[in-house]
Amino acid sequence: MRFGDRVGNIVEGCTDTLENPKPPWLQRKERYIAHLAGADPSTVLLSACDKLHNARSIVRDLRECGDAVWTRFKGGKEGSLRYYRALERAFGKHENRHVALIDELDRVVSEMEGLASS
């Protein structure tokens, strides 16, 4: 492995499935959220950073494109909003949570929810 087992394990831990074909979207996301509770701190940190970046990108795109952005996501508007809120809660419950990071994710998800309802 090019970057070593530790990095490989973190990357694998941030992946919602290695199955091919992939299981249905909702099933993958529910399993991923459940997996976070027992994930190692490095995986949780990287995943939270990735999801924060993704949420910020969605907020930016909502401002630019409006509700058309939701057509990009298999979960659609409602599923995607529920997923990001569930992620924020899961990260917040982890024993090694990064409070400032989770607070920022909460803020961005709240902004996403507000833009989605307007």
| pLDDT tens digits in sequence order for the chain, 118 residues long | 678 989 989 999 999 999 999 999 999 999 999 999 999 999 999 999 999 999 999 999 999 999 999 999 999 999 999 999 999 999 999 887 788 999 999 999 999 999 999 8
Please state the length of the chain.
118
For residue 58, give its domain range.
4-117
Q: What is the pTM of this model?
A: 0.92
Rounded Cα distance between 116 and 102, Å, is: 21
User: What is the number of structural domains in the chain?
Assistant: 1
